[in-house]
Structures are given as C-alpha cells and as structure tokens.
Structure 1
Amino acid sequence: MRLTFLEPLYKQPGPFASVYLDTSRDSAVEDPDAAIELRWRHLRDALRSEGADQGSVTAVARVVGSDADVPGTHGQAVFTAHGRLALLDELPAPPARDTAHFGPLPDTMPLLVQHTPGIPYLAVRVHYRGPHSTDATGNVRIDAEAGIWPLTKVTPEHLLHEEIPVTDWLHAAGVIGRKLEGHARGIDAEAVVVAGDVWARGILVHRLPAFLRRQVTPVEGVGESQPGRALMERRLESLFSGLMAAHDRALLDALLAQQARDGASAEDLPAAISALQRGRVKALFLNNHPESTLRLWVGPEPGQLALTEQELRSYGVQDVREERADAALTRALVGTKAELVVIPEQRLQLREGVAVLLRYTEPESRT
C-alpha cells in the first residue's frame, strides 16, 4: 500500500486530535443521529482529558456525522490540528471501537488497516427486463462501477448506467465492452465481476476485449445493491475476503525471496527500526496488533526512532519523547516514502509481527 495520501497530513505540525467513530445509519439503530452524538460526547471528553485544545475539539465536532448521505454501516476517521481539519476519511466499516487520541503524532494505523486489501476492480451488473425471456419488447439494463475495494463500499463511483433495447443488444454489447475497457484500464483493474441474466451476461462477456475477458469472474443472479453503497457489495465482500492486491503480493514475493537469500535478518522490530533509521525500507510488513501497548522513542524527524531513549540520544537527537509504536512506524514510512503491507498472521506470521523489504541502496549517512 502506497501512503502518499497521508503526506499532506504529516506535513502539518502537531499536536493532532485523532478520532475514529462509528457513524452508521442502519435499521439496527432507532435514532442514529442521537447515537452518534452520544458517542462523540464520550470521545470529546477523552480528548479534553488528554489536553486537546478547544479549537481542535471544535474542528472535530464540525465534521462528526457529516456523512448523513452514506447509508448502512460505516465510520469516520477525523484528524485535526490547531483548530483546523487536517484529514477526513470515510471508513468502509465501523471502527472496532470508538477512539480518540491527542498527541504529537496522528494515530493513522487504524485508517490504513481499513484501506486493505486495496484491490482495484470493475463490477458489472447486466439485467434483462421484459415480459418473457429475451422478449423483443424488453430492455437490457447495464450498471457498472469501478473502484478500490473496500474503499468504494461507502464512496461508490457509478460510471455507467444504460438501458438498451434487447433487439440491439448483440451490437451494443461490443460498444459497452469497449467503454468498460477504458474504465478498467484507468484503475488497472485486477478483477472484473459480472452478474446478471445468463443470456445477456454471456453476450457481454464474449464481446469484452480479450485482456478484460481473462479477468472476468461471473456470479449468479442480478446482485441487488443498497442505494449509495457499492454495486454488488455483498458479492464483492465474499469474493475479496482474505485476498491481497497484486501489488502487495509482488512485494510479499520479494520479501520471501529476500528471506530465502539472506535469512530473517530483516525480520523483527530492531531490524525494522534500524532499516527505517537509514531510509532503506522499500516496504514494511505488519501483522496488525491493535491491542499492542508497545512504545518507541522518537525525535522531530521521521527517521528518528529507536527502542530506547539512550539509543536515540546517542545519535545526537536532543528533543525526544515516547510514542505509540504504530504511530512512530507510520510516520517513518510516510517520511521515507516506504510502503506498508498489512498481512494476516494466518497467511504469514512474522517474528515480533514485523518485517521489512529493503531497497538495497547504499544507506544515507545519519545526521
């Protein structure tokens, strides 16, 4: 996962208020606005108890629950600093628990975890509408949507919506196929999921460009979706569960090759910290442990982090403090333009939950 979308956040001076809040509006909650307000009240008190300034708390309050147009279960990640909104991101699923933190570094790891697996996809629903099967008076309706899973659960981008007389479908399917190709190439789609009536769907699939046809996964039924949510959301959830994006899989293959050649020399927390200090990390692999209380010592710059205060001061860093390990690691990744791969333990259990893929460039001298 590339972390460039976080660079504007880290360019701002802290301290930061970081808030993760369930802002779901579904049938399970009788009065969702009142529930959101109550949850926010608890988080507001938590921020104040940690010393948050009133301006930053007020900036959070302005945007909490502002996603009233997003249906179903979801959440918000809000970051403010010095009375201004620094970053607002919609969460495709509610946070495991509502949290609020105020400190020098933003608490971004829960946000990054929700961005995985980050699979670019194209979802296509083809539906015949007529009194009888392929009746000449009927229409074929096409809905298509391209996106990055799971982010587009709550930020769907409807790219195509057309109805075509069934008598024109044989010709029109080729035209639609070329339009879909453009959308798929625009996001480097790794999966093309096609649902709908067997007859109409089959004609479309056979008229897709060859490279697109090789990526097709057909699914049965029409795949109805809730308005405002991702097209065929439940089908996609089932298909993508447990998968990794192709880019992350390639990074994992490179890590395994590195380990086969050099052993586990870049696997464990001290090895990861050493490589980050020298800007040598291409990608950091993490078994996510949100319950971890591990802390690191950090300085003002992204690459200034260490296991102990003494080690950091030995590098000549005077302004040092303790921070959550995941917050320190994330800042170092963004600051050194390294990538993050969150990997389930059942797929690969890492020593101390962390490993790094090295850039194999000469380390820069530390100042």
Structure 2
Amino acid sequence: MRLSFLEPLYKQPGPFASVYLDTSRDAAIDDPDAAIELRWRHLRDALMSEGADRDSITAVAGTVGSDGDVPGTHGQAVFTAHGRLALLDELPAPPSQDTAHFGTLPDTMPLIIQHAPGIPYLAVHVHYGGRHSTDAGGTVRIEAEAGTWPLTKVTPGHRLGEEIPVGDWTRAAGEIGRELEGHARRIDVETVVVAGDVWARGILVRRLPASLRGQVTTVKGAGESEPGRALLEQRLDGLFRGRMAAHDRALLDAFLAERARGGASAEGLAAAVSALQRGRVKALFLNDHPESPFRLWVGPEPGQIALAEQELRSYGTREVREERADAALARALVGTRAELVVVPERELWLCEGVGVLMRYADPTSRE
C-alpha cells in the first residue's frame, strides 16, 4: 500500500492532536448527533490531560461530526496542528474504540489500517426484469462504479448510469463495455464485479473488452445500495473480506522469496529500524497489533529513528523524543516513500510483528 495520501500531513510541524471517533448515523441510534457530542467530550478531556493546546482542541471540535451527509456506520479521523485542521479522513468502519492522542507525531496507523486492503475494482449492476429476448419491451438499466475498496464505502467513486431499450441492448453493451474499460484503466482495476439479471449481464460480459473479461467475477443478487454508499457494498464486503490487493500480494511474495534465499529481507524491529535509517526499505510488512508495547526514539526528520535515545544523540540529533513504534514507523515510511503491507498473523507470523523487503541486498551481509 502506498502512503502518499499522508504526505501533506507530515509536511506540517507538530505537535498533533489525533482523534478517531465513531460518527455513525444509522437507524439504531435515536439521537446520533447527541451521541457523537458525548463521545467527543470524553476525547476532549483526554486531549487536555495530554497537554493539548486550546486552539488544537477547538479545531477538532469544529470538525468532529461534520460528515452528516455520510449514511450508515462509519467514523472520522481528525488531525490538527497549531490550531488548524491538518487532515480529515472518513473511516469506512467505526474505530474499534474512540481514541485521542496529543504528541509530536500524528497517530496515523489506525487510519492506514482502515485503508487496507486498497483493492481497485469496478462494480457493475445490470437491472432488468423482463423477458429474456431482444424483441421484448422495456429497458436494461446499468449502474457502474469504479473505486478502491473499502474507501468507496464512505467516498463513492465515479458512477456511470445508462438506460438502454432491450432491442438495442446487444449493440449498446459493446459501447458500454468500452466506456467501462476507460474507467477501469484509470485506476488500474484488478477485479470487475458484475451482478444483476443473468441474461442481460451475460450479454454485457461477452461484449466487454478482452482486458476486462478475464477479471470478471459474477455475484448473485445485488442487495439495494444505500444512497451515498458503495454500489454493491454488501456483495463486495463478502468478496473482499480477508483478501489482499494484488500489488501487496506481489510484494509479499517477493519478501518470502528473498527470505527463503537469505536475500534482501529482514525481520524484527531492530532490523526494520536499521533499514529505515538508511532509506533501504522498499516495503514494510506489519502484523496489526494495536496493543503493541514497542516504543522508539525519533528526531525531527523521518529517517531519525532508533531503538535507544543515545543512538540518535550519537548521530548529532539534539531534539529527540520517545514515541509509539507504529507512529514512528508510519512517519519513516512516508518520508522515505516506502510501502506498507498489513499481513494477518494467521497468514504469516513476523518476528516482533515486523518484516522488511529491501530495495537492494546488503553486500556486507554476505560471506
């Protein structure tokens, strides 16, 4: 997963207030705005106890709950610095718990985790309920959306809508297929999910460009899509649950190959920190452990990261602070333009929950 979406945040100086809050507005909540306000009060007290300045707290307060137009269950990640909003991101799912932190580095790892698996896809729903013949009356209606899962749950992608007379469907399906190919190409789609009437969608699939036909997965039914949410959301949730994006899978395969031959890979926190210090990391692999007790020492620059305070000071770094390891690693990855791959522990256990694929092998490590 590329972390370029965080670059604007790290260009700003800290300290940062980082807030994760459930801002769901669904039918199960009688007064969602009152519930959000109550949760925010608890987080405000937590920020004050950590020494957050009044301007930063005011900036968060002016942003929390501003996503009233987003339906269903979801959350917000809010980052402020020096009394200004530094980054606002809608979360596809509510955070496991509401949290607030004030410190030198922003607490970005929970946001990164919610961006995973980051699968670029195209969803297509073919609406038709008439007789399966091109001489029937009525129309075939097409809905399509290109997006990245799971972000399209709260930030829908580009939507295509067409309504075609049944008699023209065979010809029009080819034209729609070429239009879909253009949308798919823009985001390098890896999966095309097609739902709806079996006969009508079959005509469309057969007339899709060859570049898309091999990526098609058909799903039964569709489920109604809630306005403002992802097209075919329920079907996509079942299809993509536990799946990695193809790009991340390729990085993991490369890591495993290098590990098997003792090449450009390493495991453990110390090895990861050493590689990040030298800008050698191509991708970092992480078992997601929100409760991880590990901490690291950091300086003002992304590559200034170490296991011990004295190590940083020996390099001439004067301003050093101890931070949570995940916050320090996230900043180092963004600053060195390395990628992050979240790997379920059940699929691959990593020493201390961390592994790295190097940009190149260290010749000094070979005998």
- Per the normalisation by structure 2, the TM-score is 0.96
1:1-367 correspondence to structure 2 within 5 Å: 1-130=1-130, 132-134=131-133, 136-262=136-262, 266-360=266-360
**Structure 2 vs 1, CA of residues 158 and 354 (structure 1 numbering), >3 Å: closer, same or farther?**
same
1:353 and 1:156 map into 2 onto residues whose CA distance is: 33
Amino acid at match of 1:284: L
Secondary structure of 2:88 counterpart = strand
The answer (yes or no) to whether the contact 1:79–1:86 under 8 Å persists in 2 is yes
Distance 1:142 1:208 in 2: 14
SS at match of 1:288: coil
Q: CA deviation at 1:23?
A: 0.4
- In structure 1, give the amino acid aligned to 2:148: I
Give the Cα–Cα distance (whole angstroms) in 1 for the partners of residues 271 and 93 of structure 2. 33
**Which amino acid in 2 is paired with 1:267?**
E
Residues 197 and 222 in structure 1, CA contact (< 8 A), matched pair in contact too: no
Superposed CA deviations along residues 227-260 of structure 1, whole A, max 9, x for unmatched, are: 1110010100111111111111111111111111
SS in 1 for 2:173: helix
Could you give the per-residue CA deviations for residues 97-126 of structure 1, whole angstroms, max 9, x where no partner exists?
Answer: 000000110000000000000000000000
Q: Distance in 2 between matches of 1:79 and 1:276?
A: 25
Q: How far 1:314 moved relative to its partner?
A: 2.1
Give me the whole-angstrom Cα distance separating, in 1, the residues matched to 2:285 and 2:6.
Answer: 18
Structure 1: any 5+ residue segments left out of the alignment?
none
CA contact (8 A) 1:126 1:222 kept: no
Q: Is the 8 A contact 1:265 1:271 kept in 2?
A: no
Structure 2: 5+ residue stretches without partners: none
Q: Secondary structure at the match of 1:95?
A: coil
Q: Please give the secondary structure, in 1, of the residue aligned with 2:128.
A: strand
SS at match of 1:266: strand
Separation (CA, whole Å) in 2 of partners of 1:264 and 1:11 = 30
Shift of 1:361: 7.1
Question: Which letter does structure 2 place at the counterpart of 1:24?
Answer: S
What displacement does 1:266 show?
A: 1.0
Residue 347 (structure 1) shift:
1.0
Cα distance in 1, alignment partners of residues 57 and 100 from structure 2: 10
Residues 217-226 or 236-245, more deviating? 217-226
Q: Distance in 2 between matches of 1:175 and 1:351?
A: 52
C-alpha separation in 2, matches of 1:133 and 1:284: 52
Q: How far apart in 2 are the matches of 1:281 and 1:18?
A: 26
Q: Are the counterparts in 1 of residues 265 and 356 from structure 2 also a CA contact under 8 Å?
A: no
Q: Residue deviations 1:117-170, cap 9 Å, x none?
A: 00000000001144x555722110100000000000111124211111111111
Conserved? CA contact 2:265–2:358, under 8 Å: no
Secondary structure of the corresponding residue to residue 77 of structure 1: strand
- The Cα of 1:54 is off from its aligned counterpart by 1.0
- In structure 1, C-alpha distance between the alignment counterparts of 2:337 and 2:99, rounded to whole Å: 27
What amino acid does structure 2 have at the position aligned with 1:173?
A: A
Secondary structure of 1:112 counterpart: helix
- The alignment-based identity, stated in percent, is 79
Could you list the per-position Cα deviations for residues 317-365 of structure 1 after superposition, in whole angstroms to 9, with x for gaps in the alignment?
22211111111111111111111111100111101100111011789xx
Compared with structure 1, are the counterparts of its residues 362 and 8 closer, same or farther at alpha carbon in structure 2 (3 Å cutoff)?
A: farther
Letter in 1 for 2:344: P
Task: Supply the distance in 2 between the matched residues of 1:105 and 1:309 (Cα, whole angstroms).
Answer: 17
One-letter code aligned to 2:22: D
